[in-house]
Amino acid sequence: MGSNHYSQIGLRDLFDLKRADTVILHKTWFAFFLTFFVWFNMAPLATTIAAASGLTMDELKLLAVCNVALAAPGRFIMAGLTDRFGPRKTLTLIMVATSVPCLAFAFAGSYGQMIVSRLLLGMVGTGLMAGIHMTSLWFRPRDIGFVQGVEAGLGNWGSSIAAMLMPVLALNVFGSWRLAIAMSGVLMLVYGAYFWYTVSDGPERAFRRSPGKGSAIEVSSWGDLVAALIWTAPITGVLALLVWRARGMGYIGGEIAALAYAVIAAAVLYQTGRVVRLNLPMLKKGVPDRDRYRFTDVGALCLCYVATFGAEVAVISMLPVFLQNGFSLTPQLAGLLGAAFAFLNIFSRALGGYITGRMPAKRGTMLVYLAGVAVSFSLMGLITPEWPVPSVVLVILLCALFVTGGCGITYAIVPLIKRRMTGRISGYVGAYGNVGAVVFLVAYTFVGESQFFYLIGAAALAAFLFCLFFMKEPAGAFSKEYQLYCVGKRPAEGGRGRASGARAPFADRGA
């Protein structure tokens, strides 16, 4: 199923269904689309659910935080699983397993059951890790920016379609928000089974290497080890913020909160311990130059994703309610307008990846988009109920253009840091998107909409400054070959990893 196309992939190639890589791309983005459709099937129904069940705004905000909380450590875990077991198995697992809490939320009989099921359902937001890995196996480095922009753009469109369809399904088709949400879970379950039987991990001429038993990330120096430990702790530690807020709002008692803090602390220590155990022997032995990379660049991408994807998730979670309450709109119209934020994903995220793939100054492209995010969220903060709705939508679209485009740029750069660890690096970056979402949404329980938007703008400015002073331009961005080289031995020499298909060229190893 290998491809003989050596010209850079473009829009026309997406319609060439004779290409195996194109078919895999379409199947993968649709799987990602369904995970996002299910992930954000609650936000456009928030006021409908509140009216039917008597929930308050504070309870709705806490449900929104629960909806994204587990995705942060979940993305970290799934990134390790996709490196070890491959994207096909991992993405199938995500779709099948998370259909259960989706159905549980649909038929929950109490607010406690809603919190637990929504918390577990947050794991559905980890599908990006497997999708990114799948495209990195099927496409060449210089095509990845565009391809992953297409995949993530169409996949993220799931949240936009959910915002438009869920109110219509719940109010005009099923006459029940529970049946509408249950339908989305069943659809994802069925497609998960289809995905399992119809895709493979990479073309025949390429191969997938497992980085070994360790699920921690490798580093190149003692300084990077310290940086990795610092950046690892918040991925699970951010859950303490949710526990603290739930305790403060009186939804859990002191004993349960203490137990939760202890579990979170143990998980953080476990994760940092794995990083130390994996890297100590390697650093003492010395890391070859060809395997070195800067962990600071990973940290920079993490901050970029906080300011882009974290902002996107947080805004999607509150925008329909903000529009409905602030401008006296119907749930259907508020959902339709709220969908505009994620709707731009379909081309702006791909555009961000496309531009990154062709611009020699990828860091500079990122800086431009981060500046755009900071400015546009400042404009969002100026919105008042006196604004005409068309002007509000225009500002939302401008903001979404930079936010979703910045997401595309971030993940176009991820595979260029160290290709054989794409899964784990994408796990850090993806997890930080949800760390940002949790922080923003917890802050939203304290402040109004204007302060919420200003806070996100300030986060984007901080990410801009960090990238300006500490991020370096990635190397090896325009290679024509698949880059699956591993620090270990070649498969024929008895390396630890597994191979599927024939050996790939080694022309780009070490990139």
- Which residues lie closer than 8 Å to 279 by C-beta, 6 or more apart? 216, 218, 219, 225, 228
Ordered alpha helix ranges (H), 44-176: 46-53, 57-69, 71-85, 87-106, 111-121, 127-138, 141-168
Q: Please choose, from the candidates 360, 500, 490, 351, the residue with its C-alpha nearest in 3D space to the C-alpha of residue 416.
A: 360
pLDDT at 367: 93
Task: Look over the chain and give the mean of its residue pLDDT values, rounded to a whole number.
Answer: 83
End-to-end Cα spacing for the chain: 25
Joined together, the tokens standing for residue 168 give 């219509």
Phi-psi region of 501 (alpha: psi -120 to 50; beta: other; left: phi over 0): left
Q: Is the pLDDT of residue 3 over 70?
A: no
Joined together, the tokens standing for residue 236 give 């699970």
pLDDT at 34: 95
| Four-point Cα dihedral 377, 309, 191, 84, nearest 10 | 180
Q: Please choose, from the candidates 120, 125, 126, the residue with its C-alpha nearest in 3D space to the C-alpha of residue 66.
A: 120
Region 453-462: mean pLDDT is 96
Q: What single letter denotes the amino acid at residue 492?
A: A
| Distance (Å) of CA 194 to CA 28, 188, 305 | 11, 10, 31
Specify the pTM: 0.79
pLDDT in tens, 267-290: 999 989 989 998 999 898 888 887
pLDDT in tens, 134-178: 887 888 767 776 787 788 778 878 888 888 899 899 988 999 999
Joined together, the tokens standing for residue 507 give 């022309």
Q: What are phi and psi of 479, to 5 degrees?
A: -70, 150
Residue 231: enclosing H or E segment and its boundaries? helix 222-237
Distance CA 36, CA 247 (A): 29
pLDDT at 215: 62
Q: Please choose, from the candidates 380, 366, 349, 510, the residue with its C-alpha nearest in 3D space to the C-alpha of residue 458.
A: 380
pLDDT in tens, 46-97: 888 888 888 888 888 889 889 888 887 887 788 778 877 888 999 999 999 9
What angle is formed at CA 397 by the lines to CA 395 and CA 402, rounded to 5 degrees? Answer: 100
Q: Which residue has the tokens 């659910």?
A: 49
Q: Which residue has the tokens 């024939």?
A: 502
Q: What single letter denotes the amino acid at residue 367?
A: L
Distance CA 464, CA 214 (A): 33
pLDDT band at 501 (very low <50, low <70, confident <90, very high): very low
Which of 1-10, 212-221, 267-276 shows the lowest mean pLDDT across its residues? 1-10
- Which residues lie closer than 8 Å to 437 by C-beta, 6 or more apart? 68, 71, 72, 309, 310, 311, 313, 314, 317
The residue count for the chain: 511
Percent of the chain exceeding pLDDT 70 equals: 88
pLDDT in tens, 386-428: 999 999 999 999 999 999 889 888 888 887 887 777 777 887 8
Dihedral angle sign, alpha carbons of residues 255, 261, 263, 266:
negative
Distance CA 499, CA 503 (A): 8
pLDDT at 363: 85
Most confident of 171-185, 274-288, 341-355, 496-510: 171-185
Q: Please choose, from the candidates 91, 291, 87, 79, the residue with its C-alpha nearest in 3D space to the C-alpha of residue 206.
A: 87
